[in-house]
Amino acid sequence: MSDHHTTNSSSVDGATAAEPTFPPLTGHCFCGQISYVISSSPLAQGFCYCRDCQRVSASGFLPWMNVTASSFTLAGMPKIEYVRGTSIRGTEKVFGTCAHCGSAIFGGQYGVHEKHTVYAGTLDDDSVSRFKPTMALFVRERPAWAKVHVEMKEFDTLPGLS
């Protein structure tokens, strides 16, 4: 069990079973008009070094968490502006940004896609330490100055693609 899980006890036929619960992750855009809650553990976490993510983040990479849509809830006064492009697979790529301050918050269209890529730079102070990247994507596009010295699996593009 990881350190961010807690345990609740419940009784089933007289036996006590441990049931893990997930303390929610929270975050918001720069201006605070959009906030979010992630209610279950991310499916994957890592860094993306593709040129699109470099441009969206105005950095050498974008730290991300892949989550199910059912665990990702927007709050506040969410006026989302979507920036669209084409992915390496030839499908549409969608970045959700705050229409007021321009912060890139998540990937995918809210209410449409089954999963979202939430950008870890938008996590609140009490959640950001729980971001644990395990993979680096598009390392072939990584600037020499942007190598992060964290132990993780690296892929030239996406897992399963050459």
Give residue 67's Cα distance to chain centre. 7
Q: 24-154 has which CATH code?
A: 2.170.150.70
Domain range annotation of the chain: 24-154
Which residues fall within 8 angstroms of residue 147, CB to CB, at 6 or more apart?
A: none
What whole-number percentage of the chain has pLDDT above 70?
A: 87
For residue 3, pLDDT over 50 is answered with no
CA distance 93 to 88: 9
Condensed to tens digits (0 to 9), the pLDDT of residues 76-135 reads 877 999 999 999 999 999 999 999 999 999 999 999 999 999 999 999 999 999 999 999
Residue-level pLDDT at 17 = 44
Total-model pTM: 0.80
3-state secondary structure of 97: strand
Phi, psi of 57 (to 5 degrees): -90, -10
